[in-house]
């Protein structure tokens, strides 16, 4: 499990105009949440988060206040928003964690090998690409590998077929089908597959008053860019 340090500045001012000003300066607004703390607005350098947004990484967040004093919190990235066209990072939310308390996270599933049924003319359908688990932060795996070599046409593998350690508890249903091999006539269309997956994450989760105003902020920024 990756762990890295990230410096952030505490801020008191919030709102659309402040968020725009932060982004013009090459930084992004953020917030850290926790069960035993009030939400703390932050200023973060988006370049320091490149390649780390979807890694379930543990972050030692070093927060500097207006008086130059530092405090460190152990957090994970809970949510983030990107510009739909420019793909630029716009906002990030962190959540405080305790290293001795279990948390629920989503882990990617990677298939290994080539299914026998595919070599016989079947079509491989992967219906799940990630699985939800609960464990201590130090026990979070990077991914789960699933060997599909022995799959024949008509065969499937479920969540229960994943090899996980005793320190990990599955949250996803054991009966959920991860991958199956079907005949070409039975191939599931992309639209149906999305329905089966109940795809989440296409619309970012909105957390707090500031992120609720994000869409309105972006509209204002685009109008300003056009007028310049």
Q: Where are the domains of the chain?
A: 3-97, 103-197
Instruction: Give the CA radius of gyration of the chain.
Output: 21
Question: Which one-letter DSSP state was computed for residue 153?
Answer: T
pLDDT score of 186? 66
Q: Would you identify the CATH topology of the domain 3-97?
A: Ribosomal Protein L25; Chain P (2.40.240)
Rounded to whole angstroms, the Cα distance separating 96 from 111 reads: 32
Contact of 156 with 186, CB cutoff 8 Å: no
Q: What is the pLDDT of residue 204?
A: 43
Tell me the pTM.
0.75
Residue 213 CA, distance from chain mean position: 21
Distance CA 7, CA 172 (A): 34
Token pair 């008053």 is at which residue? 209
* Tens place of pLDDT per residue across the chain (228 aa): 789 999 999 998 889 999 999 999 999 999 999 977 889 999 999 999 998 998 899 999 999 988 778 999 999 999 999 999 999 999 999 999 999 999 999 999 999 999 999 999 999 999 999 999 999 999 999 999 999 999 999 999 999 999 999 999 999 999 999 999 999 886 655 555 555 555 444 444 444 444 445 555 555 555 555 454
State which fold the 103-197 domain adopts: RNA Polymerase Alpha Subunit; Chain A, domain 2 (2.170.120)
Q: What's the confidence (pLDDT) of residue 196?
A: 53
Contact predicate 8/43, CB 8 Å? yes
């Amino acid at each position: 499990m990756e762990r890295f340090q990230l410096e952030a500045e505490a801020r008191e001012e919030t709102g659309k105009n402040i968020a725009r000003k932060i982004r013009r300066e090459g930084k992004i607004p953020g917030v850290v949440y926790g069960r035993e703390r009030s939400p703390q607005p932050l200023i973060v350098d988006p370049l320091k988060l490149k390649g780390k947004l979807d890694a379930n990484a543990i972050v030692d967040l070093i927060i500097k206040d207006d008086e130059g004093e530092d405090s460190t919190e152990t957090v994970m990235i809970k949510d983030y928003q990107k510009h739909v066209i420019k793909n630029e990072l716009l906002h990030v939310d962190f959540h405080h964690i305790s290293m001795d308390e279990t948390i629920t996270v989503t882990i990617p599933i990677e298939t290994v090998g080539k299914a026998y049924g595919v070599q016989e003319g079947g079509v491989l359908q992967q219906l799940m690409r990630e699985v939800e688990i609960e464990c201590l932060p130090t026990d979070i795996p990077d991914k789960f590998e699933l060997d599909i070599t022995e799959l024949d046409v008509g065969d499937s593998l479920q969540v229960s077929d994943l090899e996980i350690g005793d320190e990990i508890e599955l949250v996803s249903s054991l009966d959920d089908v991860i991958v199956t091999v079907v005949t070409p006539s039975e191939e599931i269309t992309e639209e149906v597959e999305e329905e089966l997956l109940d795809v989440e994450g296409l619309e970012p989760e909105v957390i707090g008053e500031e992120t609720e105003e994000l869409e309105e902020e972006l509209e204002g920024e685009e109008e300003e860019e056009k007028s310049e």
